[in-house]
Amino acid sequence: MDTDKGQRVRPDDLEALIGQGGRLLLQRDFEGAAALARSALALDPDNRHARDQLDAATSGLSLPDGDAIGDPGEPDRKHVFAPAMTDQALGRRLQTAMAAGRFVEAADLLRRAAGDDPENGHLRIQLGNLLSHLGDRAGAVASYREAAALRPDDASTQAALGNALMRSREPAQAADCYRAALAIDPEATDARRNLGTALRDCGDLDSAIAAYRQALSGAPNDPAAHYNLAIALSDTGAFARAAMHYRRALTLASPSSIPDRATILNNLGNALKNSGAVPRAIAAFRRAQALKPGYATATYNEALALLLSGDYREGFAKYESRWQRGPLAPPQPQTALPRWSGEPLEPDARVLVFPEQGLGDAIMMARYLPLLRERFAAVTCLAAEPLARLFRHSLGETITADTDRQAAPDTAFTHHIPIMSLPLAFGTDLDSIPGADGVLKPDSDAAAAWAARTPTGRHMRVGLVWAGRRDNPMDGFRSLPLAAFRPLLAIDGVAWFSLQKDEARAEIEAEGLSGQIHDLMDDCRDLLDTASLIATLDLVIAVDTAAAHLAGSLGTPVWLLNRFQSEWRWLRDRTDSPWYPSIRVVTQPRPGDWTAVLAEVAARLRLQAAGRQVRFVRPARRPSAG
């Protein structure tokens, strides 16, 4: 068996597999270590060292890509015994275990040594280092805490405890440790940089940026500080400035830097894409892949940039890399069925469509289901509960919508396909996007009941969605507070209807707007009910959410409030949408500038409410903040 570190290990040599696996753990090659641990377990399923090694490798794989927190340091095989050890036999066993790469055994021996020497902080630091690499985050924190108590005036010990707390997802406690380290040694640049990362994880971006800048004032050539500052700047929407610091990190990075140059290039590509420099972003993603072949995250990000630029042929092909992104990958469809990729079929072929991603994605892809029915004798689409009744009502008896995987066993089908792979299977480009008209339908009786329940005379009936799900990583860029819409709510001749779900609904009452906005969402059990309510509206004004997709699929006019960096399906520098003819896109002229967007929408709404025609023109885009 060849490892990716160039050493050959016999697949039937249990001791060699465990030893080399331990060495790969130290080198943070978690995939290689996991592979060797699995091979060892195939030889000895009860082997404790192999089992612990696999757990450690799996834990390591869960770390975020490009983690730039200070490394705890490789367990020191030469000097781990420097403190006097009362048990020489124990010391020799420890030496042997470390040299052989049996680090789980070595950790047990270090615990015994620390127990024999309760005042020895150095042993506890070494144990913390070893446990960190083995993925025992709680154990590492406990060991470093003991060391810090024994060495309260040692800045490096306080910083090591902070690093361990960061790996345990305790950024507030970690920040306290970094502050303690800096109080002891104000020149501890790594501690100041890592303080920035802890503050960023706490959501205090301004303080994080200040900490990174302070770190750079003491160490202007620290690539990790430039890299982490760039991440924080991107979080604020300052994408052009972020790109500048990514470039500086790239110039300064060495082949052994953490993060590596490929990771920096990947993040540079994201900053360039979000700043509007899409061709340069694509070039950065491709450079990242050239440096690190098989780098699926960079391939996936390149796909998003290609789709944003309108290159659907190559973009959808590379979008398949989403399945290879390790911990970031979506769950794989649980099936042994072959995947359909657009090839010719036997007459009795039957396909199972698997859901993925959000409700809006499923609504957008629903247009492909009737096309599937033209190819397959039977089509079943697994759907999330909020969508199931809408799909059943709209698609009729020829296409089955089901929420229960158990009701759709593999034996009933010949093929499967993930729903977001349908554009690739049908060879979709900008000129061949299937129409959505008439695919999804409201319940006409329910729509009539909604209209009768909410008479508004001659007023325009306008639906409003101002926020998405808070757990979406991009929600801070796409959502607004309801209070920002007060100028629109004051326009004469408009009756407002909330289409808002989740906790943001509470803003209606909190802002004292219950008398101005009809909120009927308690009576909308699912998206069929919501679709029937939308069918009574003249217009929907929405941020980028499932409600915008739903209204667009029904043919209801939608004014989509779009963030500067834009989701790929809305493209760039367009006010129309090839996916939904009834949608008009109003995009921020610069990152974070909702004021200009809302002013434009208010002016158009006044004209519309007065019965005058509204024309949308291509926006004058301004560069990202730099």
Q: Of 196-205, 324-333, 408-417, give the lowest mean pLDDT range.
A: 324-333
Torsion angle (degrees, nearest 10) of CA 314, 319, 325, 330 = -170
Residue 357, phi-psi category: left (phi > 0), alpha (psi -120 to 50), beta (remainder): left
The pLDDT value recorded for residue 119 is 83
What was the pLDDT predicted at 8? Answer: 59
Given a contact cutoff of 8 angstroms between Cβ atoms, the answer to whether 252 and 225 are in contact is: no
Specify the amino acid at residue 79.
H
CB atoms within 10 A of CB 610: 11
Q: How far apart are CA 463 and CA 548, in angstroms?
A: 10
* Assigned token pair, 163: 């690093």
pLDDT at 19: 66
Domain chopping of the chain, boundaries = 14-61, 64-191, 221-329, 350-425, 444-609
Phi, psi of 461 (to 5 degrees): -100, 110
d(CA 515, CA 199): 41
**Tokens in use for 579?**
């996916």
Average pLDDT over residues 561-570: 95
Q: Are 534 and 499 in contact (CB under 8 A)?
A: yes
Name the DSSP letter for residue 379. E
**What pLDDT does residue 405 have?**
87
In which band, very low, low, confident or very high, does the pLDDT at 80 lie, cut at 50, 70 and 90? very low
45-54, 324-333, 340-349: which has the minimum mean pLDDT?
A: 45-54
CATH, domain 444-609, list 2.60.40.10, 1.10.3720.10, 3.40.50.300, 3.40.50.2000? 3.40.50.2000
Say what the pLDDT of residue 319 is: 98
Which has the higher per-residue pLDDT, 177 or 52? 177
Task: Place 135 in a pLDDT band, splitting at 50, 70 and 90.
Answer: confident
For residues 31 and 25, the answer to whether their CB atoms sit within 8 Å is: no
Task: State mean pLDDT over 87-115.
Answer: 75
298-to-239, 266, 293, 529 alpha-carbon distances in Å = 18, 6, 10, 40
| Stronger pLDDT, 200 or 81, i.e. the higher one | 200
State the pLDDT at residue 25: 63
Q: What is the four-CA torsion angle of 58, 62, 67, 71, rounded to 10 degrees?
A: -40
The structure tokens 């309108």 sit at 310
Would 64-191 and 221-329 be classified into the same CATH topology? yes
Which region, left, alpha or beta, applies to residue 310 given φ > 0 means left and ψ of -120 to 50 means alpha?
left
Residue 6: is its pLDDT beyond 50?
no
472-480 LR contacts (CB < 8 Å, sep 24+): 474/563, 477/237, 477/563, 477/565, 477/591, 477/592, 478/543, 478/544, 478/545, 478/563, 479/504, 479/543, 480/543, 480/561, 480/594
Express as a percent the part of the chain with pLDDT over 90: 68
Task: With a cut of 50, say whether residue 14 has pLDDT above it.
Answer: yes
Closest C-alpha to 318, from 421, 433, 430, 432: 421
Residue 70: what pLDDT? 45
Orientation of helix 103-116 relative to helix 14-26, angle to 10°: 70
User: Which pLDDT score is estimated for 75?
Assistant: 36
pLDDT of residue 15: 66
Mean pLDDT for 427-447 is 96
CB 334 within 8 A of CB 346: no
For 335-355, b where at least 16 C-beta lie within 10 A, e where not — what string? bebeebeeeeeeeebbbbbbb
How far apart are alpha carbons 552 and 252 in whole angstroms? 48
**pLDDT computed for residue 150 by the predictor:** 92
* Residue 49: per-residue pLDDT: 62
Instruction: Report the distance separating Cα 384 and Cα 375, nearest Å.
Output: 24
What pLDDT is stored for residue 63 in this prediction? Answer: 38
Whole-number percent of the chain with pLDDT over 70: 87
CA distances from residue 391 to 372, 403, 531, 534 in whole angstroms, order as listed: 15, 11, 11, 16
The CATH class of 64-191 is mainly alpha
pLDDT surpassing 90 at residue 388: yes
Q: Residue 67 pLDDT more than 60?
A: no
Instruction: Return d(Cα 473, Cα 471) in angstroms, integer.
Output: 6
Mean model confidence pLDDT for the chain:
87
- Lowest-confidence region among 8-12, 306-310, 320-324: 8-12
User: How far apart, in whole angstroms, are the C-alpha atoms of residue 134 and residue 58?
Assistant: 10
What's the rounded mean pLDDT across residues 98-106?
A: 74
Cβ atoms of 434 and 386 within 8 Å: the answer is no
Task: With beta carbons less than 8 A apart as the criterion, state whether 545 and 360 touch.
Answer: yes
Which pLDDT score, from 0 to 100, does residue 613 have? 61
Please enumerate in sequence order all residues whose Cβ is within 8 A of that of 462, keeping only pairs 6 or more positions apart, or say none.
Answer: 494, 495, 496, 497, 537, 538, 539, 540, 541, 605
Cis peptide, bond prior to residue 418, ω within 30 of zero: no
Instruction: Tell whether the model's pLDDT for residue 85 goes beyond 60.
Output: no
Lateral strand order in the sheet of 539-543: 517-519, 494-498, 460-465, 539-543, 558-562, 583-587
CA 287 to chain centre: 22
For residues 493 and 611, the answer to whether their CB atoms sit within 8 Å is: no
| Segment among 96-110, 395-409, 411-425, 542-556 with least mean pLDDT | 96-110
pLDDT at position 611 is 81
pLDDT tens per residue across span 242-286: 999 999 999 999 887 878 999 999 999 999 999 999 999 999 999
Q: What is the pLDDT of residues 573-597, one digit of tens each?
A: 999 999 999 999 999 999 999 999 9
Residue matched to tokens 């979709």:
428
**In the predicted structure, residue 120 carries a pLDDT above the cut 90:** no
Please name the CATH architecture into which domain 221-329 falls. Alpha Horseshoe (1.25)
CA 108 to chain centroid, in Å, comes to 37
What's the pLDDT tens digit per position in 147-192? 999 999 999 999 999 999 999 999 999 999 999 999 999 999 899 9
- Whether 66 shows a pLDDT value over 60: the answer reads no
Are 497 and 454 in contact by the 8 Å Cβ rule? The answer is: yes
The closest of 413, 422, 418 to 337, measured between CA atoms, is: 413
Residue 38's pLDDT band, with cuts at 50, 70 and 90, is: confident
Which pLDDT score is estimated for 578?
97
Radius of gyration of the chain (CA): 28
483-529 tens-digit pLDDT: 999 999 999 999 999 999 989 999 999 999 999 999 999 999 999 99
> Is residue 409 scored above 70 in pLDDT?
yes
Is the pLDDT assigned to residue 69 strictly greater than 80? no
Q: In whole angstroms, give the CA distance from residue 452 to residue 155.
A: 71
Q: Which residue has the higher pLDDT, 621 or 561?
A: 561
Predicted confidence (pLDDT) at residue 16 exceeds the cutoff of 50 = yes
* Residue 549 burial class via C-beta count within 10 angstroms: exposed 0-12, middle 13-18, buried 19 and up: buried
Q: What is the pLDDT of residue 474?
A: 85
